[in-house]
Each structure stands twice: as C-alpha cells, then as structure tokens.
C-alpha cells in the first residue's frame, strides 16, 4: 500500500482554508520575486538609460551614477556593516554619504534582507505544501490556491499601479512611513541618495515590480489552469 492509503482526508473547509493560505503565499512570493529580479546589476544601466531619465542637477554623470549606485546595491545585498558605505569619499576627500543617509541605508538594508527572508520562506512553504498536497490528496485545492494567488497578484498590482499613476507622491510617503520611522528617509536635493535615486527612479521601480508580478501571476494562472476532463 502507498502512503496515501494511510492519510485520512480532512474536512472540505480545511482544504478551502489551505487554498487561501496558498493564494496569499503566492502573492507574497511573486511580489518579492519581482523585487529580487530588480536587485541585479543589469537593472541600473537599464533604468539610467531610459528616455527622459532626469540628469543630476548637481553634476553626477551617468557613469558616476552607475558607479556609486552599484556600490549601494552591493551594500544592500552583502553582509558588511555600514562602514562599507561610510568610508567612501569623493576625489576631493568629502564623504559620499552623510550621517542621515547612512542611517537610512542601515534601515533599508534591514528591511530588504528581512523581505528576502520572507521571500525564501514563502517559496519553501509553497514547495512543501505542494509535496503535502500531492501526497495528501488535496492537489486540486492546491492548484486552485495557486490560481487564486495568481489572480490576487494581478488585481493587487493593478490597484498599486493605479494609485502610483494618480498620486505617486502620497503613495510614496505612505509606503516609507510604513517601513521606516517618519522623517528618517527625507533628504536634501543635494544629498547623494537623491542625486542617485530621484523620484523618477522610484516611480519606475514600482511600475516594474508591478509589471513583473502581474506577468508572473498570469504565468501561474496558465500553469495551474484546471486540467481538462477526458471526453
């Protein structure tokens, strides 16, 4: 006898709850997958070369922006302390980042690395649940949960992009106040972080994350579409 013979089916409502859990895990996993896709060196040259991307009014060239932003991205993904950025200097000996900027980068790194842990956790849970569903006779409910998660991702992204299009400033402030202490993420136009990552950069980020998430959601919907019943 197979292991399935010894597994007693749970009540239907349990599988419906599990399907919703799978759907929410799918939404989290797809969104954070899109974030991780953008945390690659190829994204920065792509963004800085976009038509209409605003030049730095304080003098950074495109090459300088790419150089310094690549180091900032490296810091966010490595295990080094803030001295990795704090020791950086321009050719005239002035610090690249001031204390406010360094403090914020510490906060950003903590938030990002926690998000990446959640991403890995969501992927592990989805795979574990898939194995459980296959062996525990609730594979159809798992597939339904994945499809629902795909649709949730598409509709969630549509809502976010609509808000970004209508009132990005309000959305941007609200987003930062959720993840960071109010006021700690606000800088002067002449500060390095603003010069490297102006508002246009962040608006595009949300659009790209949304587009990738929606695309992955549609892919999930297609992959887990209901199986055709034999004629």
Per-residue pLDDT tens over the stretch 127-145: 999 999 998 888 999 999 9
Please compute the mean of the pLDDT values over residues 74-103 and round it to a whole number.
Answer: 96
Q: For the purposes of burial, counting CB atoms within 10 Å of the CB of 227, is it exposed (0-12), middle (13-18) or buried (19 or more)?
A: exposed
209, burial (CB in 10 Å: exposed 0-12, middle 13-18, buried 19+): buried
| pLDDT of the residue at 110 | 96
Please tell me the predicted confidence (pLDDT) of residue 4.
Answer: 47
pLDDT surpassing 60 at residue 2: no
Residues 6+ apart with CB under 8 A from 57: 189
Residue 77 has pLDDT above 60, yes or no: yes
Q: Is 95 helix (H, G, I), strand (E, B) or coil?
A: strand
**Distance separating alpha carbons of residues 118 and 28, to the nearest angstrom:** 8
The encoded tokens of residue 190 equal 């002449």
Residue 92 DSSP one-character state: T
Q: What is the pLDDT of residue 8?
A: 52
Of 33, 34, 43, the C-alpha closest to 120 is 33
Report d(CA 22, CA 89) in Å as an integer: 47
Query: According to the model, what pLDDT value does residue 51 have?
Result: 94
> Is the pLDDT reported for residue 21 higher than 60?
yes
pTM of the model: 0.88
* pLDDT tens track for 149-190: 999 999 999 988 888 888 888 888 888 888 888 888 889 999
């Amino acid at each position: 006898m197979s292991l399935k013979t010894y597994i007693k089916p749970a009540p239907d409502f349990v599988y419906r709850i599990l399907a919703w859990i799978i759907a929410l895990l799918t939404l989290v996993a797809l969104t954070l997958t899109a974030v991780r896709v953008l945390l690659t060196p190829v994204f920065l040259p792509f963004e800085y070369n976009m038509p209409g991307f605003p030049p730095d009014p304080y003098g950074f060239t495109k090459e300088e922006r790419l150089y310094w932003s690549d180091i900032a991205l490296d810091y966010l993904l490595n295990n080094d302390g803030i001295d990795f950025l704090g020791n950086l200097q321009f050719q005239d000996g002035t610090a690249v980042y001031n204390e406010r900027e360094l403090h914020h980068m510490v906060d950003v790194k903590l938030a990002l690395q926690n998000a990446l842990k959640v991403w890995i956790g969501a992927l592990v849970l989805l795979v574990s649940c898939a194995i459980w569903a296959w062996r525990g006779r609730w594979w159809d409910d798992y597939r339904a949960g994945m499809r629902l998660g795909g649709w949730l991702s598409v509709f969630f992204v549509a809502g976010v992009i609509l808000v970004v299009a209508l009132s990005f400033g309000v959305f941007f402030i609200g987003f930062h106040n959720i993840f960071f202490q109010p006021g700690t993420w606000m800088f002067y136009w002449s500060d390095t972080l603003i010069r490297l990552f102006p508002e246009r950069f962040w608006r595009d980020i949300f659009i790209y994350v949304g587009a990738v998430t929606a695309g992955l959601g549609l892919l999930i919907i297609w992959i887990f579409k209901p199986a055709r019943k034999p004629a």
